[in-house]
Amino acid sequence: MKQSKDALHKYLERALKEYLEGKKTQRAIIGDIQATAIRGKELATIFAGQRSRGDAEKYDVAYRECETRGWL
């Protein structure tokens, strides 16, 4: 069963928020991003929406990991 894009976006937004709040590990958020298959501009938009939440250093690490993997 395929999930709707809206549901995947909400899932990833929540997962990224939990990561930035310290409730998830870096490995977990990278796995979540990989599992949703959201890439490019869509992924950048989700990151942009979470920029002001939580730890800025964690945000930068996750963003760079996505860039390194070619997801952004």
Structural domain tally of the chain?
Answer: 1
Domain interval for residue 36 = 5-68
Q: Are 50 and 20 in contact (CB under 8 A)?
A: yes
- Angle CA(12)–CA(13)–CA(19) in degrees, nearest 5? 85
Residue range 9-48, pLDDT digits in tens: 999 999 999 999 999 999 999 999 999 999 999 999 999 9
pTM for the model stands at 0.85
Is residue 2 very low, low, confident or very high in pLDDT (cuts 50, 70, 90)? low
| Residue corresponding to tokens 């409730």 | 23
Mean pLDDT along residues 1-12: 82
Q: Which contacts of 44-52 are long-range, i.e. CB under 8 A and separated by 24 or more positions?
A: 44/72, 46/9, 46/12, 46/13, 46/16, 47/16, 47/72, 49/13, 50/13, 50/16, 50/17, 50/20
